[in-house]
Structure 1
Amino acid sequence: MLDDFLTRAALAGVGLSLATGPLGSFVVWRRMAYFGDATAHAAILGVALALASNMPVGAGVLVVALAMALTVSTLATRGWAMDTTLGVMAHGALAFGLVAISFVPGVRSDLQSWLFGDILAVTRGDLAFIWGGAALVLALLAWRWQALVTATVNEELAWASGLNPDRERLVLTLALAVVVAVALKVVGALLIAAMLIIPAAAARALSRTPEAMAAAAAAIGAVAALGGLALSLWQDTPAGPSIVTAAAVLFAAAALFGRARRG
């Protein structure tokens, strides 16, 4: 079955959605959209590092994404003006990555796949990496779920409950770095944040509990992945952007449904 490239692409999209749905819910709750952008844009620098040093691309992306996420998290705890700082770091990391990758021989022709993804070229090894990374993220979030929700709702309540909000922020930081490494092949560096935010934002209009929102976000992301692949094959459009387009359509539908239900 895995010899079929469409089956591999579909499984990659669903596997990614299982991780981005619950994690994206925290990104939405904590208003960390720019945090996700900065980490995702640093992925291109990780690609350049990996190709220049002959190491696996996934490993290079994970190292750089983790370094960026930890840097941003540290600056946030030290009172930096994060709106401006994250904007500078997000676009600066992307620019540095694009410049660095231009020095690696024979890579320029593949640059678009790193920026926008190439889900149709997913291999069995990529599939194992994606599902392994998704399983790691889900296990991490399940292990710390209640603590993460408590720290997200009210940090003072978390301290009173014996929890350390900074530690929970670190858990999210680690999970985000893994998701960036996993998602690069599927949707590319420029669209990773979209797959974190859009399904979760759509799920918020349909859910009443944090758990329901996380599950709905994963389901919406999976439907968007499959719908985007279908659109790509039908209209010969780029697969990564098509997946995000499908997610945006689902968000609009969820928003309208949520408004009609409240009205």
Structure 2
Amino acid sequence: MTFLDDFMIRALLAAVGTALACGALGCFVVWRRMAYFGDATAHAAILGVALALAFSISVPLGVLVVALAMGVLIGTLSGEVISPDSLLGVLSHSALAMGLVAVSLMPEARIDLDAYLFGDILVVSKTDLAVIWGGAVVVLGLLVWRWQALLAEVLSNDLAHAAGLNPARDRLMLTLLVATVVAVSIKVVGALLITAMLIIPAAAARLVARGPEGMAVWATAIGVVAAIGGLYAARGFGTPAGPSIICAAAALFCVTFLAGRLRG
């Protein structure tokens, strides 16, 4: 029996890998007010699951393709005919509904839809672990590489242009990274909750951090603690693991909020 044969060890590693992927990226989601975009991308993941089953390809690959397509579509159409928030609402809920309908039309697939909506971390396989940690390494590597450029774009487009940067390219990179996180994390917390894993730790970190780098570190740490704590709470109380992790993150947000108020 190897180290990874224990399902709880695999679940812990998957939870920590997801937290690492979401921590620093979640800061940019908060700074750029991309929460609704994250929801739209995550909801499209169910359509990606349906397409993956229909064409007999890897589910993370199907989710990634649809999530990337959603990001490109939003970036292309936003502001041209309809306001960005309305466009996000239309695409988000339409993609979720189409995914649910498509899955229902494939009874031979025998899919446990709840596992993709809310996550099923306790059945994560070694292959899933490789996908999750591979995605985390890619996301963290690109964020470290483009950190200063991404910060400049958050502060001001004019500042970024003056520094010789390409804000449009960096915005596209953030879109691709959010899509990547959705694809690799769907098995852990599910399509309906992955945006919360991006936003809540980052929002909590914002209350206690000093500076953007500190916020990224705090967000990652809070995400890791929430992932581990939520997983063990789920095991102890018999609750769903994905929602339990998000509840733990929400509890940590409340703690940091109260700590900030007490500090004045």
Normalising by structure 2, report the TM-score. 0.96
Structure 2: how far apart are the matches of 1:166 and 1:66? 16
Q: Which runs of 5+ in 1 are unaligned?
A: none
Which one of 222, 229, 232 corresponds to residue 230 of structure 1? 232
Q: Which moved more, 1:108-117 or 1:54-63?
A: 108-117
Structure 2: how far apart are the matches of 1:44 and 1:234? 29
Conserved 8 A contact 1:118-1:240: yes
C-alpha displacement of 1:91: 0.9
Aligned to 1:143: 145
Which one of 183, 186, 189 corresponds to residue 187 of structure 1? 189
Q: Which moved more, 1:159-168 or 1:180-189?
A: 159-168
Conserved 8 A contact 2:78-2:87: no
* Structure 1 residues 77 and 142, CA gap change in structure 2 (3 angstroms): farther
Q: Matches of residues 9-158 of structure 1 in structure 2 within 5 Å?
A: 9-76=11-78, 78=80, 80-107=82-109, 110-158=112-160
Aligned to 1:168: 170
Q: Which runs of 5+ in 2 are unaligned?
A: none
What are the Cα deviations for residues 215-236 of structure 1, in whole angstroms up to 9, with x where unaligned?
1111111111111111111110
* Structure 1 residues 149 and 104, CA gap change in structure 2 (3 angstroms): same
C-alpha displacement of 1:93: 0.8
Aligned to 1:212: 214
Normalising by structure 1, report the TM-score. 0.97
Matched to 1:132, the amino acid is G
What are the Cα deviations for residues 106-125 of structure 1, in whole angstroms up to 9, with x where unaligned?
44550100100000000101
Matched to 2:35, the amino acid is A
Q: Secondary structure at the match of 1:7?
A: helix
Structure 1: how far apart are the matches of 2:255 and 2:94? 35
Q: Which moved more, 1:97-106 or 1:178-187?
A: 97-106
C-alpha displacement of 1:72: 1.3
Conserved 8 A contact 2:196-2:246: yes
C-alpha displacement of 1:155: 1.1
What are the Cα deviations for residues 61-99 of structure 1, in whole angstroms up to 9, with x where unaligned?
110011111111223375841111111111111001100
Aligned to 2:8: 6
Structure 2: how far apart are the matches of 1:63 and 1:242? 28
Conserved 8 A contact 1:101-1:108: no
Structure 2: how far apart are the matches of 1:198 and 1:152? 19
* Structure 1 residues 136 and 61, CA gap change in structure 2 (3 angstroms): same
Q: Which moved more, 1:154-163 or 1:105-114?
A: 105-114
Q: Secondary structure at the match of 2:164?
A: coil
Structure 2: how far apart are the matches of 1:34 and 1:187? 17
Identity of aligned residues (%): 63
* Pairwise CA RMSD: 1.2
